[in-house]
Chain A
Amino acid sequence: MKMTIETQPSGIALIHLDGDLDAKGTGEIEVQFAAITGEKSKVLIDMTRVGFLASIGIRALLSASKVMNRRGGKLVIFQPNSSVEQVLRTCGADAILAVTHDMLTAQAALT
């Protein structure tokens, strides 16, 4: 799992994830992911290149979202593929996490 971070002029931290959010992939990024979501207040997670999502990855997303929410921040998930979205839907995480397929909507939700 690869993770790259770019900070946009608006202050939004755009996190690109590339790989699988299974036990192995989540383990590879969780420390860095928790650090960045613990520091930033506006985080957009680009899931375009995430091919697989398991509950350990959902746990990381929910945990980060909760921490940010308590600080008055927000985390938005951008463009998960259909199988990843099916996983989010099946376990009810889509009702908790902000998920969008439109960049303008995503950025608007964070500003």
Chain B
Amino acid sequence: MTAVLTIHSCLAEIARASDWMADGTGPLELDSSIRLAMRLCLEEALANVVTHAASDEAITLSLSIDQNTVHLGIEDSGPAFDPTVAPAPAVNDGIEAATIGGRGLTLIRGFADRLDYRRQDGRNRFIMTFNRDRSAPDR
């Protein structure tokens, strides 16, 4: 099944998107760690888009579920941005040297099982994939 939601580009819409995803995955037997990973990655990816896209921008979310995986897609027409290759902040071990922001990409890479990006027709198309079985070998 695939579900689609369109939201506006603002931080307040992230909670609505999170509720929509929770409703869409509610009936599934998913480990709490996968639900955490999906919610976190949705939150972080949308925060990035909202930060960089115009405020009246429409963002299209898609949730696609098959036997083994859940795919969460985010499409926007903001400036081209590939989260799969964008540099993440360096890890520092002291508060003075620490970078305050920019940790969302590190979290997405750490919690999603697979990331795909392409720029098509002037839109960013970012898909995060989560294995329904967290012991799956490609994690």
CA distance A96 to B90 in the complex (A): 12
Tell me the count of chain B residues lying within 8 A, CB to CB, of chain A.
29
**Which B residues touch A55, using CB under 8 A?**
44, 47, 101-104, 107
> Least Cβ distance of A76 to chain B in Å?
12
Contacting residue for B40 out of A24, A62, A87, A96, CB 8 A: A87
**Which A residues touch B43, using CB under 8 A?**
22-23, 54, 56
- In B8-53, the 8 Å CB interface with A consists of 11-12, 14-15, 18, 32-33, 36, 39-40, 43-44, 47
A91-B95 CB under 8 A given contacts A54-B47, A55-B103: no
A65: interface (CB < 8 Å): yes
CA distance A97 to B43 in the complex (A): 22
How many A-B residue contacts, CB cutoff 8 Å?
76
9 extra interface residue pairs, beta carbon distance < 8 Å, beyond A58-B103, A66-B95: A22-B18, A23-B43, A24-B11, A90-B111, A91-B107, A92-B103, A92-B106, A96-B98, A97-B95
- In A71-104, the 8 Å CB interface with B consists of 83, 86-87, 90-93, 95-97
A69-B107 CB under 8 A given contacts A22-B14, A54-B47, A55-B101: no
Contact with A along B99-122 (1 / 0, CB 8 A): 011111011001100000000000
CA distance A108 to B96 in the complex (A): 22
B91: interface (CB < 8 Å): yes
Majority-rule SS of A interface residues? helix
Majority-rule SS of B interface residues? helix
Q: In chain A, what residue has the closest Cβ to B93?
A: A95
**Which B residues touch A62, using CB under 8 A?**
95, 98, 100
Closest 4 pairs (CB-CB, A-B)? A92-B91, A90-B110, A91-B103, A55-B104
CA distance A22 to B92 in the complex (A): 23
> Least Cβ distance of A43 to chain B in Å?
13
A23–B15 CB distance below 8 A: yes
